[in-house]
Amino acid sequence: MKKRLLINLGLSLLCIIGVGLGLSTTITAKTTGDVPAVAKATGYRLVNQDAQVWTKPYIAGLDNVKSENTKQIQGYMIRLTEQVKINGTKYYLGVFPGSGKSAGWIKATDLKTPQYFWTKATGGKYINVKKTKNLNVEVSLKKQRVYLKSGHKVVYTMMASTGKKTSKTPKGHYTLHSGGKWFWSAAYGGAKYWREFAAGGYYFHTIDTVSPNGKYSVVNGNKLGQAVSHGCVRLSIADAKWFYKNMPNGVKVYVH
């Protein structure tokens, strides 16, 4: 009994000292408001247009803050990283597929599974290029990403697939040119929504198609994010279509 009393007094003093010194303390208690240990999660999900996005799994009665990324991710796709079940309700932590930046915690009921992840936007809500100063494009062969930048600042990130070892995407500084809605080559196949950036037929375009202006290759679509192209820069269908329609001619492109 004396030992238990001393322990309780010690904990009380520790809390008082922590408050006096301005230290933050975490107290864990076995109540219905506790957050259980999180588990890993994988896959892609589409976020409902009116979904609530939180900085942590929402628990009624406990402080919580809505994610600053709420408007950027509502109606767009996330990649799952963690999951937790609280009082019978499952929550997922999602990140922007392109950048890997945390989007926030969302209830499972506010998510749905896309048939093919490579058909969707991979960076959340698109930017307004007309309001983006010093717009330029950077392609990372190492990370398999396309960065839209305002000067040196990254403002949007897309997943990509660049050239494989036997047909590498050329490194260097280039300029973005016009393109077309689709192309087809007997030797290399085709794709849709293309924009040329380097002489010799190097484009930004969608996942490749299996026939002229035809259906997309599911096999190659599932490889988005890997270096598997013939040298062009593949993007998701949504990203390529947006890129084709919105990116101005003359924008500088840096591939490294």
Grouped pLDDT means (10 residues each) for the chain, 256 residues = 38 39 35 69 98 84 84 98 92 98 97 98 98 99 99 99 98 98 94 98 98 97 98 99 99 99
Taking CB atoms within 8 Å and a gap of at least 24, the contacts of 153-156 are: 154/99, 155/127, 156/98, 156/123, 156/126, 156/127
What is the pTM for the complete model shown?
0.85
Thinking of the domain 129-255, which architecture would CATH place it in? Beta Barrel (2.40)
Residue 35: the pLDDT is: 64
Ordered by start, the domain boundaries in the chain are 37-114, 129-255
Residue 57: the pLDDT is: 85
CATH topology (fold) of 37-114: SH3 type barrels. (2.30.30)
Which DSSP helix (H) or strand (E) runs through 255? Answer: strand 252-255
**Catalytic (active site) residue 232:** yes
Q: What single-letter amino acid sits at 65?
A: V
Residue 56: the pLDDT is: 86
Annotated active-site residue in 152, 230, 232, 256: 232
**Catalytic (active site) residue 205:** yes
Annotated active-site residue in 173, 205, 230, 256: 205
Is there a contact between 170 and 256 (Cβ–Cβ < 8 Å)? no
Which DSSP helix (H) or strand (E) runs through 206? Answer: none
Instruction: Of 114, 82, 118, 116, give the one whose Cα is nearest residue 97.
Output: 118
